[in-house]
Amino acid sequence: MIKSMTGFGRAEEITDDYKLSVEIKSVNHRYLDLNIKMPRRFFPFEAEIRNIIKKYVSRGKVDLFINYLDFKDKASGVYLNKNIVKKYLDIGLELCKEYKIVDDLKVSHLLNLPDVISIDEPKLDEDKVKSQLFKVLEEACKVFLGTRESEGEKLFTDINSKLELLTDTADNIKERYPQVLEEYKSKLTLKVNELLSGASIEENRIATEVTLFADKICVDEEVVRLFSHIKAMNDEMKLDTGIGRKLDFLAQEMNREANTILSKSTDLNIANYAIILKTEIEKIREQIQNIE
């Protein structure tokens, strides 16, 4: 079953010690674009996190949010590096004296200077932290995958119904083509008889004109190729993942055949059928943009 590139998944774990939540959301994108926002404690696991996400998605713009709240209030140690602060202040005073600069240094300025503040985070049990994170991450990914498959099922149903309409319309064009030739032959014969005031004309002359006209408006090849592209798209949609680009290519090819049929058409009915083809193919292309 095809998968949509649009999806959302969320999972969390709450204990007496902490609350860990993971959210994943995605929209359509040409390639896989994975953005992760998470606390510093999970930075060492980023590569493994990305590998887990790639098991569930191969294309799309994916945003991953990881939040962690420690109920034990194990606050990290925050320390002021007084020696560094003193050096900053000394340099500031020297600048003021030498260049006659008004001193507007504030505490907020000092706190933003490099190395003024040091953070001593408590040592973590990495194996335990990773186990906690990956458990919730996998749960969120499964929910995420479920929403993408559900949306993909809707896309499959919609595209399939449009392909059925394309098939019916192409059949109508195929059936209409011989009627157009017969109507042209009748009109041509009538017109020639009128011009010749009832004088006879060789049947092979009429047949030659009809043959030339038939060659000019013939869309047999375009209709055959259109049927072939429709079948290929139906077959492709039965595959699992990575089909979005192939479907988009097939839709482009179908649109090319519809354009050619419309340009060759001298019959209003066939022209209308060709317009229906183009309209439905465009709708299919819009839906395909959301397929992984």
Q: Answer for the pair 270, 173: CB distance below 8 angstroms, yes or no.
A: yes
- Who has greater pLDDT, 61 or 40? 61
Distance CA 222, CA 207 (A): 24
Residue listed under structure tokens 């996400």? 53
Q: In the chain, what are the helix, strand and coil shares in percent, each to the nearest 5?
A: 65, 15, 20
DSSP notation for 91-155 = HHHHHHHHHT------HHHHHTSTTSEEEEPPPP-HHHHHHHHHHHHHHHHHHHHHHHHHHHHHH
For the cut 60, the answer to whether the pLDDT of residue 9 exceeds it is yes
Q: Report pLDDT for 171.
A: 93
Q: Answer for the pair 61, 9: CB distance below 8 angstroms, yes or no.
A: no
Tell me the one-letter amino acid at 121. E
Give the angle subtended at the CA of 175 by the CAs of 277 and 251, to the nearest 5°: 25
Q: Report pLDDT for 189.
A: 60
Lowest mean pLDDT segment, chosen from 4-18, 154-168, 203-217, 255-269: 203-217
Q: Give the DSSP H or E segment for 70.
A: strand 60-70
Give phi and psi for 11, each to the nearest 5: -150, 155
Q: How confident is the model at residue 282 (pLDDT cuts 50, 70, 90)?
A: very high
Could you tell me the two tokens for 16?
A: 């007496």
Distance CA 3, CA 18 (A): 34
Distance CA 112, CA 63 (A): 29
For the cut 70, the answer to whether the pLDDT of residue 208 exceeds it is no
Q: Give the DSSP H or E segment for 25.
A: strand 18-27
pLDDT in tens, 151-199: 999 999 999 999 999 999 999 998 888 777 676 566 656 665 555 555 5
Mean pLDDT of the chain: 87
| DSSP state letter for 45 | G
Terminal CA-to-CA distance of the chain, rounded, Å?
11
Q: Report pLDDT for 196.
A: 57
pLDDT in tens, 73-114: 655 678 889 999 999 999 988 989 888 888 888 888 888 899
Residue listed under structure tokens 């055949």? 257
Lowest mean pLDDT segment, chosen from 24-33, 41-50, 171-180, 273-282: 171-180
Tell me the one-letter amino acid at 147. T
pLDDT in tens, 126-151: 888 899 999 999 999 999 999 999 99
Structural domains in the chain, sorted by start: 7-73+123-148 (3.30.230.70), 78-119 (no CATH), 150-289 (1.20.140)
Could you tell me the two tokens for 274?
A: 């060709």
